[in-house]
Structure 1
Amino acid sequence: MAPLVQELHFPHLHIPVTIDHIFPVTPAGPIPASSGNTLYLSNLDDMIGARVFTPTVYFYRSNGFSPGQKLVTKTLHDALASVLVPYYPFSGRLRETKNGKLELFFGAEQGVLMVEAHSEVDLASLGDLTVPNPAWAPLVYSFPGERPYQVIDMPLLIAQVTYFSCGGFSLGLRTCHCLCDGLGAMQFLAAWFLTAKAGVLVTNPSPCWDREILRPREPPLVKYPHVEFMRVEDGSSLAMTLYQNKLVQKCYRISREFQVHLKNLAQEPGDSSCTTFDAMAAHVWRSWVKALDVKPLDSNLRLTFSVNSRQKLNKTPLRDGFYGNALCVACAVSTVSDLVNGSLSNTARMVHEARLGVSEEYLRSTIDYLEINKPRSLEFDGKLTMTQWTRFSIYESADFGWGRPVYAGPIDLTPTPQVCVFLPEGEAAGATGTMLVCICLPEPATDRFKEVLGIVNHVSN
């Protein structure tokens, strides 16, 4: 029987990659925008946390045959050019207007970027293809000298196809978060991959921009404190512990049985509303704080996570094909003492209440808060941020003719060390309902985190 909680290891390796060709991809037909046109971005698109490129990688085995580099590249290129007609905003660029506000504009010689590369190693040399590995970074193209959070006047999608000596290949993507959240990215990628597989344009649902629905009110009306964005004085040892130690990326396979066990423990008598996410988020948060031995016990800590607000908008609903940012940040606040000495059910209730607290009015208040305050830096003091990928159809939608990828997902979490990601288990391991928990930890805290994460007695305290 497989362990309920299993630490996954990845080799620290060097992947030699040679870039062969870099070329732009432009829409294959006319688009409803010409040079000089602009599109509005909402405050959810424009917030500092969205001014990033999200790197992901997809691995495909040769499955006993080599499709040929020219065929794979041409298939992906032609399908992307077709999809860029309905998804034409991806071919534009970002620029700042007054007060630093971003807008999307169209000009000459734009488009997205496609890169063709090869490596002399084979897929078997890359280690365990079920767990993200920072060593895979060369498989996702970045410009020499590129700075973090550099999104101005950059291609909004960069795709790198890397061919390996075994006949397998990878597709490394960098997608600008300003254009889409995770669900929106899945919608775009599904259209691209389905178009590649079918040989004709497939868009279901049809994409729509609709960012104007999320404009701030006039005048802005902030009804909530929005502690998720506030700059706070972290009086705890957390920041010092994290930034004075070398951080390492760790991943853990959490069995379906353990998830069910946690959820049952987190349920309060007579209440069945606790979700698997509520229980897992509470358990990982508590385990993280215990492993880091945060002091003093009366310090306040925050847990933030994104809530999809698409179904929350009843007064001004978003259409089905909306692919922009519609995520609202929820925040749970607790003292260190309540986390390490309190019950799992109490922490799960805090997560649950923060999640349900995201309403249409809370979303509108968030948009108005961002309009007034315009945060220009990420605040991590006393905070752990969780990102849930388990509901994305990242494997199901990524078959563009050569089968599903053996791995699809992120690569390196260390640039944002106070982020934890929940991932679905990949095709290489078989779909068993297990979850991967990926988190960055100081080296001295890794053994303690593994211990408290997996001990049943710990979660029942």
Structure 2
Amino acid sequence: MATWVQELQFPHIDIPITIDHVTPVMPAGPIPAGAGDCLYLSNLDDVVGARVFTPTLYFYRSNNLSSTQRKLVVKILHDALASVLVPYYPFSGRLRETQNGKLEVFFGPKQGALMVEAHSEMAITDLGGLSVPNPAWSPLIYRFPDEEAYKVVDMPLVIAQVTSFSCGGFSLGLRLCHCLCDGLGAMQFVGAWAATARAGALVTSPVPCWDREFFRPRDPPLVKYPHLEFMRMDDGSSLTSTLWQVKPVQKCYRVNREFQVQIKQLAQPDDQHHSCTTFDAMAAHIWRSWVKALNVTPLDYKLRLTFSVNARQKLRNPPLKDGFYGNVVCLACATSTVSQLVGGKLSATSRSVREARVGVSEDYVRSVIDYVEVDRPSRLEFAGKLTITQWTRFSMYESADFGWGQPVYAGPIDLTPTPQVCILLPDGDSPPGGSMVVCICLPESATSKFRELLSRMDTGDEAPEVE
């Protein structure tokens, strides 16, 4: 069983870098927007959880680059990005708030994306393993010296840092504003950028589609669901204080396919009418293991598990156009008291996750849009919540071949600023559909217990522990 769930280590290192150039990247040709123009963002783009930059990092070793290519990496990436910013021209604008606090994209002079060129005296091999996110990689993602957390207004919407290492390899640290794209949209944008770099000429397949008016609210708005994912709740449990009062540590675990299959079998509902997916089962198992490891109290406190659901295939009347790269995700929300979660059956928890997932219908999406229109949430709600984000279906490696092969690592770096988020990543060392990597934050004192619980196969029916 020990090989089914393997804790992955990453080194705690310092990466000294020198920033050589910071250059704006303007669209390489005319775009259908001039100074003073603005673009509508939907309420799915503008919900408070999307007002962030999503940082991702890609490592490329030197063995796929000739000496000439190494010298041209920054130019190739710069020129390809400039070309892609023509059809993806909204990424060259900026965000601003309108009178009601809603965001829009506007265009002015001297905007564009941002390209940062840096170098390090270290070699990529000095960084240790490149299989899991490592907070020590933070210097490879550019942030302005005086940048505020969660600041998206008046910021470049694409920030790319290319860091060259002494061995000839390099990293691409990328920050895309979540307001313009969800995960699949980001893969579409990066894929177009990479394909353009490989071809030396603009490649866009599919042709990008903005069309955010597709998600305009109804008039009058019609909120048909309680939307527990946004609800303000009294922070009456020990969960949030346990995580935020001490600096949590980031832990990563490789979970092989066999273990996932067995957890899925254990999590099937007793009635067998509706089978759960691997995600339903693993989300339930991770949620329960996390709450048990944190020894959350009181036992009657209601907890929330939220997770993103891609709603593209739910939209039929009418369907979305091909190439749409905006936010089409909704937060599903499963709830459980502490005692039900840690003492109940795994099948009951997985059923709750499944019901929340399938509940994201076309009607639900429209209700979310109207809810945000009526009661625009102004802050993230953390009370009693774990959020699981699934990146296992993103083509992170395949989409990021800029002409030098797929990266040896593609993914996030640091979860600790948002310690109530768990990310499920594809394992770069296994074929698609194989192992996954679970990244989660815990107090140091709870890490051993969590690892034990995550590795354990049981269906539940045990009394909750009170220490």
**Shorter-chain TM band:** over 0.9
Q: Which SS does the other structure have where 2:63 is aligned?
A: coil
Distance 1:342 1:460, change over 3 A: closer
What amino acid is aligned across from residue 48 of structure 1 in structure 2? V
Measured in 1, the distance between the counterparts of 2:354 and 2:421 equals 19
1:276-291 equivalent positions in 2, closer than 5 A = 276-291=278-293
Give the match for residue 210 of structure 2. 209
1:378-417 deviations in whole A, cap 9, x for unaligned?
A: 0010000010000000001111111110000000001111
Counterparts of 1:262 and 1:133 in 2: how far apart (Å)?
27
Contact 2:181 2:325 in 1 (8 A): yes
Q: How far 1:2 moved relative to its partner?
A: 7.6
- Which deviates the most, 268-277 or 398-407? 268-277
1:334-345 correspondence runs (5 A): 334-345=336-347
Q: CA deviation at 1:432?
A: 7.2
User: In the TM superposition, what are the counterparts of 1:67-146 in structure 2 within 5 Å?
Assistant: 67-146=68-147
Deviates more, 1:265-274 or 1:394-403: 265-274
Following superposition, the deviation at residue 245 of structure 1 comes to 2.1
Is residue 219 of structure 2 the alignment partner of residue 218 of structure 1?
yes
Task: Write out per-residue CA displacement over residues 284-325 of structure 1, whole angstroms, 9 at most, x where no aligned residue.
Answer: 000001000111211100000011111111113211110001
Residues 453, 67 of structure 1: alpha-carbon distance in 2 compared, 3 angstrom cutoff: farther
In 1, distance between residues paired with 2:441 and 2:119?
30
CA distance in 2, matches of 1:460, 1:436: 27
How far does the alpha carbon of each residue in 1:133-182 deviate from its partner, in whole angstroms, 9 at most, with x for none? 00000001010010011111110001111000111100000000010000
Q: Cα–Cα, structure 1 residues 68 and 18, in superposed 2: closer, same or farther, change >3 Å?
A: farther
- Corresponding letter in the other structure for 1:53: F
Change over 3 Å in CA distance of 1:173–1:434 after alignment to 2: same
Range with bigger deviation, 214-223 or 61-70: 61-70
The match for 2:230 is: 229
Residues 1:76 and 1:459: Cα distance change in structure 2 (over 3 Å): farther
| AA at the equivalent of 1:26 | M
Change (3 A) 1:105 1:133: same
Quote how far apart the aligned CAs of 1:234 are.
2.7
Gaps of 5+ in 2: 463-467
- The SS at the match of 1:100 is coil
Aligned to 1:450: 451
Q: Which residue of 1 aligns with 2:162?
A: 161
1-side partners of 2:395 and 2:227: how far apart?
Answer: 31
**Backbone CA RMSD of aligned residues:** 1.5
Q: What amino acid sits opposite 1:57 in the alignment?
A: L
Q: Is the 8 A contact 1:151 1:176 kept in 2?
A: yes
- Write the distance in 2 (CA, Å) between the matches of 1:127 and 1:432: 26
- Equivalent in the alignment of 1:380: 382
Residue 235 of structure 1 and its aligned partner are, at CA, apart by: 2.1
Task: Pick from 317, 325, 328 the counterpart of residue 326 of structure 1.
Answer: 328
1:352 and 2:378 correspond: no
Name the residue aligned to 1:40: 40
Correspondence for 1:50? 50
Q: Which amino acid aligns with 1:424?
A: P
Evaluate the alpha carbon distance shift between residue 402 and residue 214 of structure 1 in structure 2; reply closer, same or farther with a 3 A threshold. Answer: same
- Which residue in 2 is equivalent to 1:424? 426
CA contact (8 A) 1:262 1:459 kept: no
Structure 1 stretch displaced more, 51-60 or 264-273? 264-273
Partner of 2:465: none
- How far is the alpha carbon of 1:272 from its aligned partner? 5.9
In the alignment, structure 1 residue 403 sits paired with structure 2 residue 405: yes
Structure 1 position 127, deviation (Å): 1.5
Q: 2:214 is paired with a residue of what secondary structure?
A: helix
Kept in 1: contact 2:266–2:459 (CA 8 A): no
In structure 2, the residue corresponding to 1:334 is in which secondary structure?
Answer: strand
Contact 1:117 1:163 in 2 (8 A): yes
Which residue of the partner structure matches residue 297 of structure 1?
299
1:387/1:287 CA distance change after superposition, 3 Å: same
Aligned partner of 2:173 in structure 1 is: 172
Aligned to 1:152: 153
CA distance in 1, matches of 2:432, 2:406: 12
State the distance in 1 between where 2:342 and 2:247 align: 24
Question: TM (normalized to structure 2)?
Answer: 0.96
Can you list the C-alpha shifts for 1:166-221, whole angstroms capped at 9, x where unaligned? 11100000000010000000000000001101112111110011100101111111
Residue-pair matches, total: 460
Secondary structure (helix, strand or coil) at the match of 1:444 reads helix
Between 382-391 and 228-237, the greater mean CA deviation after superposition: 228-237
Native 8 Å contact 2:266 2:458 kept in 1: no
User: Shift of residue 75 of structure 1?
Assistant: 1.0
What's the counterpart of residue 200 of structure 1? 201
Work out whether residues 452 and 458 of structure 1, in 8 Å CA contact, stay in contact via their aligned partners in 2. no
72-81 or 56-65, which deviates more: 56-65
Q: In structure 2, how many angstroms separate the alpha carbons of the residues matched to 1:166 and 1:420?
A: 33
How far apart are residue 48 of structure 1 and its match? Answer: 1.1
Letter in 1 for 2:191: A
Partner-residue secondary structure (3-state), 1:12: coil
Preserved contact between residue 307 and residue 333 of structure 2 (Cα < 8 Å): yes
In structure 2, the CA distance between the partners of 1:393 and 1:459, relative to structure 1 (3 Å rule), is: farther
Structure 1 stretch 270-279 or stretch 158-167: which is displaced more? 270-279
Q: Which amino acid aligns with 1:79?
A: A
Q: Deviations over 1:54-97 (max 9, x none)?
A: 10000000117545443111111111111111000000000111
- Alpha-carbon distance between aligned partners in 2 of 1:176 and 1:127, rounded to the nearest angstrom: 29
Q: How far 1:237 moved relative to its partner?
A: 1.4
Give the Cα separation in 1 of the matches to 2:2 and 2:162. Answer: 35
Equivalent AA in structure 2 for residue 189 of structure 1: V
Q: 1:335 to 1:67 in 2, by over 3 A?
A: farther
Residue 222 of structure 2 is aligned to residue 238 of structure 1: no
SS of alignment partner, residue 63 of structure 1:
helix
- Aligned partners of 1:122 and 1:321: how far apart in 2? 38
Q: Residue 309 of structure 2 aligns to a residue in which SS?
A: strand
Task: Give distance in 1, aligned partners of 2:412 and 2:298.
Answer: 34
Distance in 2 between the 1:70 and 1:220 partners?
55
For the residues of structure 1 that align with 2:426 and 2:177, how far apart are their CA atoms? Answer: 22
What is the match of residue 371 of structure 1?
373
Q: For the Cα contact (< 8 Å) 2:305–2:385, is it kept in 1?
A: yes
Deviation at 1:430, TM superposition (A): 6.3
Give the SS at the match of 2:372. helix
Which residue number corresponds to residue 8 of structure 1?
Answer: 8
